[in-house]
Amino acid sequence: MALPLVPLAGLALRYVPLALAVAVVVGRSLVPGRTDQRAEDAMDDLAEGLATHRPRDRRQMNAAARLRRVVRLGANGPGVEIDAAVLGRLRFRRL
């Protein structure tokens, strides 16, 4: 069965310039970051799963999540460890 390329080409002509424009805008707004060893140690100490809490002395909510998995190609093939950790804070203040 032949793949109809004309509708795909029309979509590409419509959305590729938009995607390039978004990439340019996002690329210009990025600033160089830095690595904070305290934050790295805090993420390494997280337990796996999702946790939230609210400190009583502050008007904020804190959340932390960690996911660790090993993905292998085949039964004894090479593997890749995926370690994703997220720390978040949502704070409300009256001005």
Domains of the chain, by residue range, sit at 5-91
Tell me whether strands 79-91 and 49-53 are parallel, antiparallel or unpaired.
Answer: unpaired
Query: 3-class SS at 12?
Result: helix
Digitized pLDDT (tens) for each residue of the chain, 95 residues in all: 667 777 778 888 888 889 999 999 988 888 888 899 999 999 899 999 999 989 888 888 999 999 999 999 888 888 999 999 998 888 888 88
Other C-beta atoms closer than 10 Å to the C-beta of 64 total 19
User: Could you give the CA distance from residue 11 to residue 26 in angstroms, rounded to a whole number?
Assistant: 22
Amino acid 1: pLDDT: 62
User: Could you give the CA distance from residue 53 to residue 63 in angstroms, rounded to a whole number?
Assistant: 7
Question: What pTM value is reported for the model?
Answer: 0.57
